[in-house]
Amino acid sequence: MKKSFLFIALLATLAAGIASCEKSKDYIVDESTRSGGYLPVSTNALLDVNNNTTIGTSASSTKYAPGAVVKTELQFFSIDPIKEINLFETVGAGTKTKVGASIPYASAYSSIKKLDTLLVSYTVPTAASGTTIKLEYEIMNINTKSITRTASFKVQ
């Protein structure tokens, strides 16, 4: 009886030890999908390269006048080839709309950053002062897997 209790306690301890082991994080493998292919990766802060200010992930204190040009640098990489980059806007409570045509992928590898880089220009539309504009930068692979980066600002 005492031996079976010790055996069960040993098995429970062993099972708890195995369950508590954490798998190492390999971002590329973790981002792959069961259907095959990999997602693109982009994690840099979205900056307006005109004035080197960060464009927030939510409506921030950044403000632009109507007609101003916001030039954002995207930094990204992908194991699978990139097909295109799309830019979408949402003005206020309006609907999400695509801005211009898709930008076809063209290699722009930066040996300093060790990533592809792309400058995306956006002209702020005429809207009431204080209106929030949300930009969504979609980087899409040829396998249709994509990542979307968002940035928001207010109209002056």
Output the CA–CA distances (angstroms, integers) from residue 10 to 1, 7, 14, 17, 123, in the order listed: 14, 5, 6, 11, 67
> HSE (CB half, 13 Å, CA atoms) of 104?
1
Higher pLDDT residue, 61 or 46? Answer: 46
Average per-residue pLDDT for the chain = 85
Average pLDDT of 132-154?
93
User: Which CATH entry fits the domain spanning 27-155: 2.60.40.420, 3.10.520.10, 2.60.40.10, 3.30.43.10?
Assistant: 2.60.40.10
Per residue in 91-118, pLDDT (tens digit) is 999 999 999 999 999 999 999 999 999 9
Q: How far apart are CA 42 and CA 139, in angstroms?
A: 9
* Stated pTM of the model: 0.76
Count of all residues that appear for the chain in the document:
156
